[in-house]
Amino acid sequence: MTAIEITKFGDPDVLKPRQLPLPQPKNDELLIKVAAAGVNRPDIMQRTGMYPAPKGASEIPGLEISGEIVEMGANVSGWAIGDKICGLVAGGGYAEYCTVPATQCLPIPDGLTMEEAAALPETFFTVWSNVFDRGALKEGEIFMVHGGTSGIGTVAIQMAKAFGATVITTSGSPEKVDFCTDLGADLSINYKSQDFAEEVKSFTKGKGVNVLLDMVAGDYMKRNFMVMAVEGRIVMIAVLRGPKVKANVLPIMLKRLTFTGSTLRARETSFKAAIAKNLQTKVWPLIEQGKIKPVMSKIFTLKDAAHAHKFLESGSNIGKIVLKIAE
């Protein structure tokens, strides 16, 4: 099969097509003929040597796929050869074939293309796990997410709104601010021209934010503490402005804040399977009803994976970037 190999750690040009052996499914896995694969920032981190694949996972990048089942492990039930699925993988997505634990697969929602389906798993699993499980967002609360036009941001805005939250987001241009508003954000802030802490204070009349999904860290942390409501929950999932923080932590005590974070890739299959069940029951119907949709930015071919990484690193995307692998 053709797959994308990280030939060495470095810039996007280290991603090269290679002919590699087909992976073989374990007893609890499916072998998928991949139609499309999502491109995500953890792929960039892996390419630069900052986020190695977990032990036992494929070294091929790619954390989410859509495609067709062509082989099933001996212990798999509930699926059949020929079924169309999308799935969350710990690696191996940038390839013509990929194995995936059967419990981490979901049916493709009615009305979606294979490319749109490939844009679902990584972001939807991440948002559900961090906003609704760890962050315990409830109907009527105020939710904030930085990077509203990222793949994570576009999903977080829609899911939080669908479950009855007021949504605040930040982004870096008038075009992106307007896009977030059109997507459902109640307050969309241009972080380049506005102080998001002051804007949140004004909008919430000093009450603050109940749940904040942060992908920035760095120099944002001081203001993150400032915008939180009493008993607020901050959930960190990335550190785009760096992992080192200098901030006054007194608000954590005074506001009784919960400050937590997570990564998903290395978690056990049973943990991811539980998320998949929640998504299929509670979120997939909303996708099929058109209340939540994957926001697509650009589609590349598999051989153009390096160009896809360059595009993601440019920050020009609004929504998801996908590799189209099979017709």
Q: What is the CATH number of the domain that holds 175?
A: 3.40.50.720
pLDDT bin (cut points 50, 70, 90) of residue 22 is: very high
Q: What is the largest CA-CA distance in the chain?
A: 59
Is 222 found in the same domain as 170?
Answer: yes
DSSP, collapsed to helix, strand or coil, labels residue 285 as helix
**Domain end: 261, 284, 309, which one?**
261
Question: What is the average pLDDT across 256-281?
Answer: 96
Identify the sign of the CA torsion 213, 143, 221, 295: positive
What are 141-199's pLDDT values in tens digits?
999 999 999 999 999 999 999 999 999 999 999 999 999 999 999 999 999 999 999 99
Strands (E), 42-141: 64-72, 84-88, 97-101, 105-107
Looking at residue 246, its pLDDT comes to 86
Instruction: Tell me how many degrees the CA angle 166-172-176 measures, rounded to the nearest 5.
Output: 65
Is 68 found in the same domain as 139?
Answer: no
Question: What is the average pLDDT across 206-224?
Answer: 94
Which of 52-56, 200-204, 279-283, 306-310 shows the lowest per-residue confidence on average (mean pLDDT)?
52-56
**Domain end: 224, 246, 261, which one?**
261
pLDDT bin (cut points 50, 70, 90) of residue 302 is: very high
Is 105 found in the same domain as 13?
Answer: yes
Q: What percent of the chain has pLDDT over 90?
A: 94
Phi, psi dihedral angles at 252 (to 5 degrees): -60, -40
DSSP, collapsed to helix, strand or coil, labels residue 158 as helix
| pLDDT tops 70 at residue 327 | no
The CATH number given to whatever domain includes residue 37 is 3.90.180.10
Question: Which amino acid would we find at residue 222?
Answer: K
Looking at residue 242, its pLDDT comes to 86
Identify the sign of the CA torsion 272, 257, 160, 38: negative
Going by C-alpha positions, the residue among 216, 230, 220 that lies closest to residue 197 is 220
Identify the sign of the CA torsion 217, 221, 226, 230: positive
Question: What is the average pLDDT across 92-119?
Answer: 98
How far is 185 from 192, CA to CA, in rounded Å?
Answer: 18
Domain that holds residue 81: 2-120+265-324
pTM of the full predicted structure? 0.95
Q: What percent of the chain has pLDDT over 70?
A: 100
Is 247 found in the same domain as 130?
Answer: yes
Looking at residue 34, its pLDDT comes to 98
| pLDDT tops 80 at residue 67 | yes
What's the chain's average pLDDT? 96
Is 103 found in the same domain as 82?
Answer: yes
What are 233-255's pLDDT values in tens digits?
999 999 888 888 888 899 999 99
Is 281 found in the same domain as 218?
Answer: no
Is 311 found in the same domain as 193?
Answer: no
Strands (E), 108-150: 142-146
| pLDDT tops 80 at residue 326 | no
Going by C-alpha positions, the residue among 219, 212, 224 that lies closest to residue 261 is 212
Looking at the structure of the chain, the number of domains it has is 2
